[in-house]
Structure 1
Amino acid sequence: MSSHFAIDSLAIRNGRVFGWGWFLDRGTTLARGELLLWLEDGSEAAIPCIEGGARDDVAAVFPDVPHARNCGFMLVGSLAGAVDRGRGARFVAELADGSRHEIRMHSLPSASPGIPMEARSLFAKARQLGIKGGSRAVLRRAIAGVRMLGERWRRVRQRSSARPVAVVFDHDMGGGANVYRARLVAERLARHGRVAIVTPQLAALECEVRVVGASGVLACWREPDEDAVLATLDRMTIASVDVNNLVGFGDPLKLVRWCVDSKARGSSLVFHLHDFHSVCPAFTLIDATGRYCGVPSLDACRACLPRNAPNTLGLSHHVDPGQWREAWAGLLRSSDRVIVFSESSAQILDRAYPWLAASGRAEVRPHDHDLMHLRAVSTGRRDVTTVGVIGNISRAKGAGIVGDLARLIHDRALPLRIVVFGTLQSSGQSSPHLLVHGPFTPDELPDLIERYGVGVCLMPSICPETYSFVTDEIMAMGLPLAVFNIGAPAERVARYANGEVIADITADAALDGIMRLARRVGQADATEA
């Protein structure tokens, strides 16, 4: 059998589906996939597959298959009814060579074994220590310890209601928003003494509440949905609310309305713009055609959103855009401050909410990014110019541009190569002009840049970044940098001596811009096209 397939995790809760897995055909790549689930009314629901995820574990098992490293996929979607778990499911794969595979699944995987969250790590630890059936006493003691810990957490939750607490809503997917959150929590701790951090846990489609104090984590528990979270928060005295990010929550508008009500009851309220979720459920503003939408009319949004589930993480794409904006407008009007990190972000927000600029609530506050781990780098000129791309490059971050650029370099036999420092969402087609280094730590970056001889960097993002820490890091190392004329990076690179702002968001334009910049900084001959 030339094809291999697995779904590693599948959470189904409250009409939402989230999971991940991998599909590998030795001869070709996955072009399109979907999971078909049977519903109790006898119909089928199609859950789209977002392909191209990095799977180094699969690549280690199939080292002879070049595209194995990018055979991962994510499943995100919503359901119109309850799933009939007894009927299993079907996975349908359409491959790049035009063939079609259908795989019957007789049972559905789950996101967790159904035991309490606190116990799962102990059961895993017990397995690691080799505890077998004959050591039931050890397991009983472990379970008793979990119950004791749970009781202590419940007491802390009860005490939390007696003193004011700051609330911070955020996603838990990493990146700049979570880095910023750490500083925000430290500030709120200094002011209020306790902070309740509320995050969605997509793997299980649950919400986590973590209460922290000066000594660390005081309590941590999970709730099945936003209603349960808000019921808990309503038993607390809320001093302040910070909306850092609501991407990933099942019903973000419920949280938006609660924040407005909390402000009316006397708490402070601050909104921090890390993406454009407040404008559209497609929080990167990438539309159903895969391009930056530019915040068009609401009629255009109504035509796009139902077809744009992948860019909403399969969440909220059924919401009317007018109702979405109306709810978020209430939060923006109620906020004491609306903090944005670039002028371009403020301008995009103004397109959706033209009254905001005149309200005086919006405050442009660029990130104070710690760059002490970086230094100026020197790579010198080489026969082949290396183009560095830094970060975890999804489709919105420009994965398609990078792939197309590698093909252009190959077709035109140009003395260029691309090195991605991080990960690349990709169809997995290999190219001699494209190398993915993989993950790295921040302090390794200058040495890696010099080791690979990077002469020019490209920020290939096709969505409007609200800030971009990577842009700061590249400029701090003194590297030439090309970006598209969109979002916060273009705003800063336009003032950077070694910068190139590319007008059109295409691979051809990116190649032209890279070559212009390389010639200008002495990394390529003037005759090279």
Structure 2
Amino acid sequence: MTTPSASIPSRTSEAEPTDDASSISLSRDADFEKRIRILEERIRDLREENARLRRQWDETTQAISWRIINMLSRPARRLAPLGSRRRRVLRSACNLAARARRALTPIVRVPRHALTISRGAAWTIRRLAERPRPFVADDRPVFLFVSHVGGGGVSRHIQDMADRLRLEGVRVVVARPNPQGRLVFEELEQAGAIAWRVEVRPCRPIIKAYLDAIQPVFVHVHHRLGVPETLFKALDARGLPTDWTLHDYHALCPRVHLHDDRGEYCGQPDPEGCRTCLKSRGDYHGRRVNPDVVAHRHAWRACLQAARRIYVPSEDMKRRLQREFPDLDMTVHPHLEPSLPRSHMARRWRDGEPVRVAVLGVITLVKGLNRLLEAAHDAWTRALPLTFVVIGTADRSEELLATGHVEITGRYRESEIETLLDEAKCHLAWLPSTLPETYMYTLSIAQAAGFRPVVYDLGAQAERVGTAGRRVPLETSAATLNDCLLQWAALDAQLGPLEPPRFADYPSLLRDYYELSPANLKASRSEIFPVTRRRIHGVASAPVLLRKTDARLHQRHR
């Protein structure tokens, strides 16, 4: 009996060290995993810091390289004038250097900043080698379009209008500021090409000289953000008929889009609420601005009262503007959209497959970035079979991609949108902007592709969708929205395709949009400018125009 009893403690004593060893090994594993997580976080931070330093290095070297190139461009133009043998030799050398660089690049590893400098230098040499086309006035009337420094929908609308006006015998010259504070004059050609371009200082004598050379008979202002007042004063002095198109709400607020810090609709408060907002948030770029919104709107009213006509692209925009400007008459002219993909690219959802939702455009704070983040996080939290495909770009892309429910295609050209939508294989289209849009080109793309777009119930997006899409209340939560998207995908699979949408079309812009005629334009041109055919080098009577690159517009080209 004693032997078994003695053997029991011995087994117990042998088992205890085994439990201690296992607990020690588990603690070591946990500590090891913790250290690995810390190392992974440090590696991630180092990668982000490396990427930031690389971007900073690229920007710095590019700025220095352009400064050097600008310093060398003036003597290069003197040493190799246009049409000279030296210029031909320089062009041949440029082509030879480009071929040599392409051949040697796979062999020789060139630092990235050196490649940036060489590409900038090659581009400048090519520009110097090209023979610029001068502006030559002819019998065609010239329309002067005034725009801001940005692109987006305003530039798209201007290009579409210029293409159509050119077919009707009208030349379009655009005047806009550049980021350096100079005023740019350029004549648009087909598909965004530029016939000629010149940058000038925004002082009144120079602007007057160029207007005398261009001889515009009509002015169409598309934006005044950043445009020097000297241009408007010079145009007023000429007494030219002027139309305005309002593309956003800059006339109401310096913040342009009527948004708060989160990119949500501000609700258009009273002037005191606007003053408080502008004091704390600044203008559209966050810069300090005069918070007196009443004075801002008064200045806009003075500009618009002198207009022949004021165009807005939607009824919703007209109603919002006329709350503050009831004395102004506004004409609703939806934007011209001559080229859109008309093929049906919305896929039918099949039971068991995840729902794919197309999100079109550049998704920034004012285009619904926070709503997209909330929807993606909710899809991740609840493990929903839902994927948002951003056809374009998005801010905070790393955070979006980390949810595992977002795909981003990247930047695209207009000609690529149909291919990208076809490859995305989406069942729905959602436009997450929570601001009152004034027109929304991305909505047109979604409609033309056969989707029933999902939009929030405000602005031009709700007005244009009508019964051919879905409108959700602005206060809809991300969870409710995701549930609706899953249900709508199943519902659309049972419905037939939509009728092709109809977009605004004007058989003749002069007659149907402006209500003008070529005969009237020619008559007004002959009254304002007796001489109908002259080269733009006639502005050389102003000596200040003979400096720097300004001479490109008016120099003699034989």
Q: What percent of counterpart residues are identical?
A: 23
- What's 2:299 paired with? 327
Residues 1:240 and 2:240 aligned together? no
Residues 340-419 of structure 1: pairs in structure 2 closer than 5 A: 340-356=312-328, 359=329, 362-382=330-350, 383-419=353-389
User: Secondary structure at 2:427's aligned position in 1?
Assistant: strand
Q: How far apart, CA to CA, are the structure 2 residues paired with 1:316 and 1:404?
A: 31
Return the offset for 1:113.
Answer: 0.7
Q: How far apart, CA to CA, are the structure 1 residues paired with 2:382 and 2:369?
A: 20
Q: How far apart, CA to CA, are the structure 2 residues paired with 1:118 and 1:367?
A: 44
Using the size of structure 2 for normalisation, the TM-score is 0.62
**Equivalent of residue 184 in structure 1, options 131, 142, 161:** 161
**Equivalent of residue 144 in structure 2, options 151, 167, 172:** 167
Q: Quick one: which amino acid aligns to residue 312 of structure 1? A: Y
Q: How far apart, CA to CA, are the structure 2 residues paired with 1:393 and 1:228?
A: 42
Q: Which has the higher strand share?
A: 1
User: Secondary structure at 2:320's aligned position in 1?
Assistant: helix
Return the offset for 1:378.
Answer: 4.8
Return the offset for 1:267.
Answer: 0.6
- Go from structure 1 to structure 2 and tell me whether the alpha carbon gap of 1:449 and 1:168 turns closer, same or farther (over 3 Å shift): closer
Q: How far apart, CA to CA, are the structure 1 residues paired with 2:224 and 2:71?
A: 23
Residues 1:303 and 2:303 aligned together? no
- Go from structure 1 to structure 2 and tell me whether the alpha carbon gap of 1:464 and 1:106 turns closer, same or farther (over 3 Å shift): closer
Using the size of structure 1 for normalisation, the TM-score is 0.65
User: Secondary structure at 2:374's aligned position in 1?
Assistant: helix
Q: How far apart, CA to CA, are the structure 1 residues paired with 2:366 and 2:163?
A: 31
- Go from structure 1 to structure 2 and tell me whether the alpha carbon gap of 1:517 and 1:118 turns closer, same or farther (over 3 Å shift): farther
Return the offset for 1:396.
Answer: 0.8
Q: Quick one: which amino acid aligns to residue 462 of structure 2? A: A
- Go from structure 1 to structure 2 and tell me whether the alpha carbon gap of 1:279 and 1:508 turns closer, same or farther (over 3 Å shift): farther
Q: Quick one: which amino acid aligns to residue 403 of structure 2? A: S
Q: How far apart, CA to CA, are the structure 2 residues paired with 1:419 and 1:208?
A: 37
**Equivalent of residue 474 in structure 2, options 503, 506, 511:** 503
Q: How far apart, CA to CA, are the structure 1 residues paired with 2:376 and 2:487?
A: 17
Q: Quick one: which amino acid aligns to residue 364 of structure 1? A: V
Q: Quick one: which amino acid aligns to residue 347 of structure 2? A: T
- Go from structure 1 to structure 2 and tell me whether the alpha carbon gap of 1:380 and 1:148 turns closer, same or farther (over 3 Å shift): closer
- Go from structure 1 to structure 2 and tell me whether the alpha carbon gap of 1:193 and 1:387 turns closer, same or farther (over 3 Å shift): closer
Gaps of 5+ in 2: 1-40, 78-89, 102-120, 496-558
- Go from structure 1 to structure 2 and tell me whether the alpha carbon gap of 1:326 and 1:206 turns closer, same or farther (over 3 Å shift): same
- What's 2:44 paired with? 27
**Equivalent of residue 245 in structure 2, options 264, 267, 272:** 272
Residues 1:290 and 2:244 aligned together? no
Q: How far apart, CA to CA, are the structure 1 residues paired with 2:417 and 2:50?
A: 26
CA contact (8 A) 1:209 1:229 kept: no
Return the offset for 1:510.
Answer: 3.5
Q: How far apart, CA to CA, are the structure 1 residues paired with 2:414 and 2:188?
A: 27
- What's 1:40 paired with? none
Q: Quick one: which amino acid aligns to residue 369 of structure 1? A: E
Q: How far apart, CA to CA, are the structure 2 residues paired with 1:367 and 1:455?
A: 27
Q: Which has the higher helix share?
A: 2
Q: How far apart, CA to CA, are the structure 2 residues paired with 1:115 and 1:330?
A: 44
State the aligned residue count.
410
- What's 1:34 paired with? none
CA contact (8 A) 2:204 2:234 kept: no
Gaps of 5+ in 1: 1-23, 30-61, 75-90, 92-102, 132-138, 525-529
User: Secondary structure at 1:388's aligned position in 2?
Assistant: strand
CA contact (8 A) 1:455 1:480 kept: no
- Go from structure 1 to structure 2 and tell me whether the alpha carbon gap of 1:288 and 1:323 turns closer, same or farther (over 3 Å shift): farther
- What's 1:11 paired with? none
CA contact (8 A) 1:166 1:188 kept: no
Residues 12-23 of structure 1: pairs in structure 2 closer than 5 A: none
RMSD: 4.5
Deviations 1:394-446 (A, max 9, x none): 11111221112100111122111111111011162222111112233445444
Q: How far apart, CA to CA, are the structure 2 residues paired with 1:401 and 1:117?
A: 48
- Go from structure 1 to structure 2 and tell me whether the alpha carbon gap of 1:108 and 1:354 turns closer, same or farther (over 3 Å shift): same
- What's 2:232 paired with? 259
- Go from structure 1 to structure 2 and tell me whether the alpha carbon gap of 1:388 and 1:226 turns closer, same or farther (over 3 Å shift): farther
- Go from structure 1 to structure 2 and tell me whether the alpha carbon gap of 1:195 and 1:118 turns closer, same or farther (over 3 Å shift): farther
Residues 74-93 of structure 1: pairs in structure 2 closer than 5 A: none
- Go from structure 1 to structure 2 and tell me whether the alpha carbon gap of 1:192 and 1:106 turns closer, same or farther (over 3 Å shift): closer
CA contact (8 A) 2:161 2:336 kept: no
- What's 2:173 paired with? 196
- Go from structure 1 to structure 2 and tell me whether the alpha carbon gap of 1:117 and 1:161 turns closer, same or farther (over 3 Å shift): farther
* Greater relative contact order structure (CA < 8 Å, 6+ sep): 2
